[in-house]
Structure 1
């Protein structure tokens, strides 16, 4: 038996704001999404992996989130240019914090309080 990561799903309240974060700022490529009887988006993460954005009522919207997203449930993405993404986050008034692990990584919350970690890809050239 083998296992592999397939997708992560998050809940949002505004698809345009989600597109700003995941499409424009992070540069993810939108993927084909079947009709699921509610609005949403699929983004390709490569290798058959996806991020599913679901426009649904959030049953967890009142949870108290720590300032640093690394202390909250989150998902992590590897990025090739962390500095460029930091500039885009700042331009859109999205606050981020440095990883406490010592890695070249940051955490931020999207407009709906979903915590995201971005890790700089290490170039071993």
Structure 2
């Protein structure tokens, strides 16, 4: 049987690198591990640390095609981040003018969650621990 240890990284392609870099580092507060400009591809690759464990790779490419996310398109549905206090996290996002959906309760776990979007409309979730 295949033994997978954990998720190593998540790759996201953005349409506006400066805007996405600001969102993921300043608004969400992820730490920059490494930022690389790849001249041959006219592309940036920004490695981000999330909670000291996981890594997000933020890529920019010239004119990437749009990817539909609503209504429920096939493929990756959303990316969820665990938080200790959902009200504090929502307040923080709202302070940066990031709109959030109303906080809901997961019928299965009883945990609270909400959704918001990154600058490209990628659905992101806050899930309370």
TM-score, structure 2 as length reference:
0.72
Aligned to 2:64: 58
Unaligned runs of 5+ residues in structure 1 are: none
Q: Does residue 115 of the first structure (1) align with residue 123 of the second (2)?
A: yes
Aligned to 2:90: 86
Cα deviation digits, residues 31-59 of structure 1 (max 9, x gap): 12556542131111233x21111112332
1:39–1:54 CA contact under 8 A, matched in 2: yes
Distance, in Å, in 1 between the alignment partners of 2:24 and 2:31 is 9
Unaligned runs of 5+ residues in structure 2 are: none
Change (3 A) 1:51 1:64: closer
Tell which structure's C-alpha radius of gyration is larger.
2
Q: CA RMSD in A?
A: 2.5
Distance, in Å, in 2 between the alignment partners of 1:79 and 1:93 is 19
Q: Which secondary structure state, in structure 1, belongs to the residue aligned with residue 10 of structure 2?
A: strand
Which structure has the higher relative contact order (CA within 8 Å, separation 6+)?
1
TM-score, structure 1 as length reference:
0.74
Aligned to 2:80: 76
